[in-house]
Structure 1
Amino acid sequence: MVVIRRATEADITAIAAVGSSAWASNIFSFEPELPGMRMHVEKAFREFARSSYNTVLVAQLEQTLLGWGAREENNDYISDLWVDPAVQGQGVGSSLLREMMAAIRHAGYLKARISTHARNIGAIRLYQREGFNIVEQGPEWSTSLEREIDKVQMLAELK
């Protein structure tokens, strides 16, 4: 059974590994891989995991971290949702998303926000199944891709 729990310092390496693996398996299906990009992103995930693991919820099966989500500012914005490519489509992302939405609701917010690459159809479908709707689409700077990309901003009413 998959357990959703708060991340600990012991999860830092797994958080970084799952994040960079999920990012690469998805983004390179619709964006070109430029020299050095993968190394740059892996470093960014390691730094994020070290500095922000206390904002992360992880999905774990036995001793294996399957995915994670974060609310970096602990507000109504879900900044990250990453699932190991080997288990995508098996409900891990939905479970994490529901837990984060519940935490946002518990914090007193009436809406939850999330964003993704406009060509990330799988993520958009997941978010829509969980109650999110696209409220804006347009160019936004991507530090990982080091250029502007088309992103969608999504919003869900919390019940």
Structure 2
Amino acid sequence: MTIIRYAHGGDIPVLAEIGMRAWEQAVTGVADLDALRDNARNAFVHFLQGNWVTVAVAETGGRIAGWAAREKMDEEITDLWVDPAMQRQGVGSALLAAIEDEMRRATFETVDLQTHARNAAALAFFRKHGYAVNWLSVAYSPKLDRNVESVGLRRQLTEDQPIGYGPGGF
């Protein structure tokens, strides 16, 4: 059973390691892991130190299995990382559902996120959960010294309400 809770400061080292393992899996074949590993690790630690209060943590069997964040607490999910050893066991789905429920309670109508265009596993996961491509972009990344293709995904959280009077509107 997966339990979702909010992060605390003591979770940062474990969350950073999970982020790293999942990041390495996601960028294999897209980027030079050896050249970027230290920068990526520092980025995870820095992000988590400054934003751990926005992080939802998934625990399975008393062990942290993944995490998700909404950095600005707006309609965008900025991070969703599941330990590769725990993928395909419902951890990502539980995290996503918890974040979406939180966003519905905050009255957001849509949820947005992005990933690199070659992250086939992430694209399949989000499409399975009702997300559709909202935009495509290509931008130069100085860290990678190359153009990187990004995909923006969106999901409608609320159903359109009929306009007008009476059942079903006009």
Bin for the TM-score computed over the shorter chain: over 0.9
Q: Structure 1 residues 105, 142: CA separation in 2 closer, same or farther (over 3 Å shift)?
A: farther
1:69-92 C-alpha deviation (Å, 9 max, x unpaired): 000000000000000011111111
1:106-139 C-alpha deviation (Å, 9 max, x unpaired): 1111000011111111111111111110011121
Q: What runs of 5+ residues in structure 2 fail to find an aligned partner?
A: 159-170
For the aligned residue pairs, the C-alpha RMSD in angstroms reads 1.6
Contact 1:111 1:155 in 2 (8 A): yes
Q: How many residues align?
A: 158
Q: Structure 1 residues 141, 101: CA separation in 2 closer, same or farther (over 3 Å shift)?
A: farther
Contact 2:57 2:68 in 1 (8 A): yes
Name the CA distance, whole Å, in 1 between partners of 2:22 and 2:33: 17
Other-structure match for 2:66: 67
Contact 1:25 1:85 in 2 (8 A): yes
| Deviation of 1:148 (Å) | 3.2
Other-structure match for 1:50: 49
Other-structure match for 2:161: none
Name the CA distance, whole Å, in 2 between partners of 1:102 and 1:142: 34
Name the CA distance, whole Å, in 1 between partners of 2:50 and 2:142: 17
| Deviation of 1:143 (Å) | 7.0
Identity of aligned residues (%): 34
Of structures 1 and 2, the larger Rg is shown by 2
Other-structure match for 1:17: 17
**TM-score if structure 2 supplies the norm length?**
0.87
Q: Structure 1 residue runs of 4+, over 3 Å off?
A: 140-148
Other-structure match for 1:79: 78
Contact 1:41 1:144 in 2 (8 A): no
Name the CA distance, whole Å, in 2 between partners of 1:103 and 1:145: 34
Tell me the secondary structure at the aligned position of residue 77 of structure 1: coil
Name the CA distance, whole Å, in 1 between partners of 2:129 and 2:76: 15
| Deviation of 1:26 (Å) | 1.8
Other-structure match for 1:113: 112
Name the CA distance, whole Å, in 2 between partners of 1:121 and 1:18: 19
